[in-house]
Amino acid sequence: MESFFKTFNRPMSPSNRKQALLPSGCGVLPNAVGTAPGFFLTIERCRFFFLPGVPYEMKRMLVEQVIPELLRLQGAAALHSRVKTITTFGLPESLAGEKMEGVEAAFPGITLGLRANFPQIQIKLYGRDNDAARLDQRLRDAGRWAIERLGSHVISDNGESMETVVGRRLQAQSATLALAESCTGGLIANWLTNVAGSSTYFLFSGVTYSNQAKIAVLGVNPETIDRFGAVSEETAQEMAVGARRVAGATYGLATSGIAGPDGGSDEKPVGTVCIGFAGPKGAWGRRLTFSFGKRLMNKKVFAMAALDLLRKEMG
């Protein structure tokens, strides 16, 4: 611990010094990324591990020190645990569960779990076996079975997020993206820039919330808005074309919608979003309607739907 503080040229406080006081007879688990060490004790026939509460420190010590020690202690009787995560979008949790009916019967030893990470649904396939190779093969087989039933709703077969998958496809094509966001208020840009390396493909985002901004910044024709409205396939298409042109990007993507809770009509109820796309082969606009009554939920599902359409368009 003293060496840790010397590395950062900081004094070691009395409260930090207390962290070095450990039970007599324990084994020490060094902390490579923090100050408080972990330790272990053997009480009768049980091995107890004690780790610091900071999640990042605890997880690293668990992976690098505790789990290997547990496997060593178990020897040939070691039971390996694995989980395969399939990320999906566009299916409610109940329907995703229905599509997965039969997986446990088809693949003995595999347990199904569902995790809602709105607006994505994660399919979790859990397995345990004392033969690691056999377990890995069983999970691969179960994963293929699940993906066949989930179809185009599958974003990733290894738990990756939509923004990660879209970013990788853009990189693979040496393509770039520009955004024009109205109802999503910059949410798509925020998600994309949370991915390391996004500067290689993400060029521009304009939160053109007002009609005047759509006209002045993106070059949307005022007559388009007058005739069809700001929330329309036609306006969204022109927004995407404008974003692509302004940034010189391969693709332009735009959103204009009604997040609520007010502002809807019979023709365009709350939950309506129009998504515009522009690319080398042309441009289009599409209208979708979702039934979520909460504003933030609508913004999230609008943003995810836009990225999903882009993902499918890129192939």
Query: Using one digit for the tens of pLDDT, what is the confidence trace for 276-293?
Result: 999 999 999 999 999 887
Total count of domains within the chain = 3
Write down the pLDDT at residue 92.
92
Mean pLDDT of the chain: 94
Question: Could you list the residue range(s) of the whole structural domain that residue 145 is in?
Answer: 80-156
70/112 same-domain check: no
Write down the pLDDT at residue 130.
87
pLDDT at 29 over 80: yes
13: domain CATH number is: 3.40.980.10
pLDDT digits (tens, 9 = 90+) for 247-281: 999 999 999 999 999 999 999 999 999 999 999 99
**How many angstroms separate the CA atoms of 232 and 267, rounded?**
11
> In which band, very low, low, confident or very high, does the pLDDT at 213 lie, cut at 50, 70 and 90?
very high
**How many angstroms separate the CA atoms of 75 and 15, rounded?**
39
Give the residues across from 46 on adjacent strands: 43
pLDDT at 221 over 80: yes
pLDDT at 190 over 90: yes
E runs forming strands in the chain:
27-29, 38-43, 46-50, 80-89, 110-117, 120-129, 154-156, 177-181, 202-207, 251-257, 272-279, 282-289
CB atoms within 10 A of CB 301: 25
Q: What region does 199 belong to: left with phi over 0, alpha with psi -120 to 50, or beta?
A: alpha
236/198 same-domain check: yes
Determine which of 44-48, 150-154, 300-304 has the lowest per-residue pLDDT on average. 44-48
Give the residues across from 86 on adjacent strands: 123
Instruction: Tell me if 31 sits within 8 A of 37, measured CB to CB.
Output: yes
134/104 same-domain check: yes
pLDDT digits (tens, 9 = 90+) for 52-77: 999 999 999 999 999 999 888 888 77
Across residues 224-228, what is the average pLDDT? 98
pLDDT at 227 over 90: yes
Strand order from edge to edge, sheet including 177-181: 202-207, 177-181, 251-257, 272-279, 282-289
| Residue with more model confidence, 1 or 307 | 307
Dihedral angle, C-alpha 159, 164, 166, 172, nearest 10 °? -110
180/67 same-domain check: no
Write down the pLDDT at residue 314.
94
113/219 same-domain check: no
Cα 55 versus chain centre, distance: 19
| φ and ψ of 58, to 5 deg | -60, -45
> In which band, very low, low, confident or very high, does the pLDDT at 20 lie, cut at 50, 70 and 90?
confident
pLDDT at 6 over 80: no
177/305 same-domain check: yes
